Amino acid sequence: MAAQEAPKAPRARFVPCGGESWRTPWGRYAALRDTAPAHHVADGDYWVLSRYADVLAAARDTARFSSAAGLTFTYGERERLGITDAAPLVMLDPPEHTDFRRLLTRGYTPRRVAAIEPDVRTFVRERLDRIADLPGGCDIVAELFKPLPSFVVGRYLGVPEADRARFDDWTHAIVEATALGSPLAAATAVGELLGYFAELAERRRAEPADDTVSDLVRLLPPGDDAALLRILGFAFTMVAGGNDTTTGLLGGAAELLTAHPDQRRLLLDAPARLPAAVEELLRLTSPVQCLARTVTADTVLHGRTIPAGRKVLLLYGAANRDPRAFGPDADRLDLTRDGPQHLAFAHGPHHCLGAAAARLVARVALAELLGRFPDFAVDAAAGTFARGHYVRRYAALPFVPGRR
């Protein structure tokens, strides 16, 4: 009797996700990690790294893996978005990046994070009160997970409350435009965004307030156009990068806590576990699933040569589930896990500047949600995913409060 052949591993092939294809990319990620850890995508001429060790090393090595040409796998990104002058912080390399980041960190970060917590908690409680009054259930993304990050970003930057809803339109256009082939919509949104914050910066120069834009105006030299561009670049980063990603974390966390009632019970029995639990939820959700760098010199990885000038996509979502780093149960939610640092906020010089704020928002939102609706459930199968190739988030997610 002939020996039975072992099943063949799936052929590694990277196709950018978007919409419904975000539901279960994990099998494709595993195939890339196992059989093509340095994978070339001919359609677009870019490369994909999927193993934890490779993504971590690339994130740290800003000299070889540069951010200056943009963070998507397409070429000419900054030119299409109209940000060749007002480069966001995330598209700067050291030493320019280091100098501006040091200025930001010294100016506001610890104080600002602590200062917004009471307002975040009040906002979440008011939204949960509203949800409690709705018959049957709701879309938790529309009611809480999407408006909350917009509120926080606006609060951070000192934008008047009446203007904060405009962030959603700007973010939608900027984040999705490159992936969906709508550069005109993105350029229009970027122009409106930068114009708005240029006016706000000048207003805060004359009438300073207790907010981040006022801090930057005070720290940077008056009349310095380059300094103003840095403020505009920072505002771009906060608006374009801060909204969808936190929405993705909260929606993914609600899905995981619904699917794993034993893990939810750990938090209900010991709420002090929540800060550590947020790290495991960040690892598995990885709201920013991937971002690109550009190699500045020929780079050999796993026997393949990535030519200088080519884009390399760092697949954080795959790296954060790599069994080589997190063990054989890397795909499983374990709120007691003690492993290496996840890459949900990248690593090295480009570690997300808003990480502390995102952690705070997640901690407060989940604590209040579990406290108010300990038996809540979301229907992940009926949820829908947002378009765009880089951020994985629910666009809609049905929510039922459960027993109250």
pLDDT (tens digit per residue) in 249-260: 999 999 999 999
Residue 396 binned pLDDT confidence (cut-offs 50, 70, 90): very high
- Give the residue, 229 or 73, on which the prediction is more confident: 73
Q: What is the pLDDT of residues 314-346, one digit of tens each?
A: 999 999 999 999 999 999 999 999 989 999 998
Average predicted confidence (pLDDT) for the chain: 87
Does residue 236 contact residue 83 with C-beta atoms inside 8 Å?
Answer: yes
For residues 114 and 109, give the distance between their C-alpha atoms in angstroms, rounded to a whole number: 9
Nearest to 279 by CA among 320, 311, 241, 319: 320
Does residue 365 contact residue 219 with C-beta atoms inside 8 Å?
Answer: no
Take residue 56 and report the two structure tokens written for it. Answer: 């971590």
What is the bridge-based pairing of β-strands 398-400 and 394-396? Answer: unpaired
CA dihedral 239, 240, 246, 251 (to 10 degrees): 130
Does residue 44 contact residue 74 with C-beta atoms inside 8 Å?
Answer: yes
In one-letter notation, the amino acid at residue 105 is: T
Does residue 179 contact residue 18 with C-beta atoms inside 8 Å?
Answer: yes
Query: Has residue 5 got a pLDDT over 90?
Result: no
Q: What does the chain come to in residues?
A: 404
- Give the residue, 167 or 47, on which the prediction is more confident: 47
- Global pTM? 0.89
Measured in degrees and rounded to the nearest 5, phi and psi for residue 138 equal -165, 180
Which of left, alpha, beta for 286 (phi over 0: left; psi -120 to 50: alpha)? left
Q: What average pLDDT does range 140-145 have in this prediction? A: 97
The reported pLDDT for the residue numbered 264 is 97
For residues 325 and 346, give the distance between their C-alpha atoms in angstroms, rounded to a whole number: 15
- Give the residue, 82 or 117, on which the prediction is more confident: 117
Residue 3 binned pLDDT confidence (cut-offs 50, 70, 90): very low
The reported pLDDT for the residue numbered 246 is 93
For residues 98 and 348, give the distance between their C-alpha atoms in angstroms, rounded to a whole number: 11
Residue that is written with structure tokens 């060790």 in the block: 53
Q: What is the CA radius of gyration of the chain?
A: 21
Q: What average pLDDT does range 199-203 have in this prediction? A: 87
The reported pLDDT for the residue numbered 179 is 47
Residue that is written with structure tokens 């602590």 in the block: 114
Q: What average pLDDT does range 160-173 have in this prediction? A: 73
Query: Has residue 347 got a pLDDT over 60?
Result: yes
Residue 188 binned pLDDT confidence (cut-offs 50, 70, 90): confident
Query: Has residue 93 got a pLDDT over 90?
Result: no
Per-residue 3-state assignment (H helix, E strand, C coil) for the chain: CCCCCCCCCCCCCCCCCCHHHHCCCHHHHHHHHHHCCEEEECCCCEEEECCHHHHHHHHHCCCCEECCCCCCCCCCHHHHHCCCCCCCHHHCCCCHHHHHHHHHHHHCHHHHHHHHHHHHHHHHHHHHHHHHCCCCCEEHHHHHHCHHHHHHHHHHHCCCHHHCCHHHHHHHHHHHHHHHCCHHHHHHHHHHHHHHHHHHHHHHHHCCCCCHHHHHHHHCCCCCHHHHHHHHHHHHHHHHHHHHHHHHHHHHHHHHHHHCHHHHHHHHHCHHHHHHHHHHHHHHHCCECCEEEEECCCEEECCEEECCCCEEEECHHHHCCCHHHHCCCCCCCCCCCCCCCCCCCCCHHHCCCCHHHHHHHHHHHHHHHHHHCCCCEECHHHCEECCCCCECCEEECEEECCCC
Task: Mean pLDDT check: name the lowest of 19-33, 70-84, 200-214.
Answer: 70-84
The reported pLDDT for the residue numbered 57 is 98
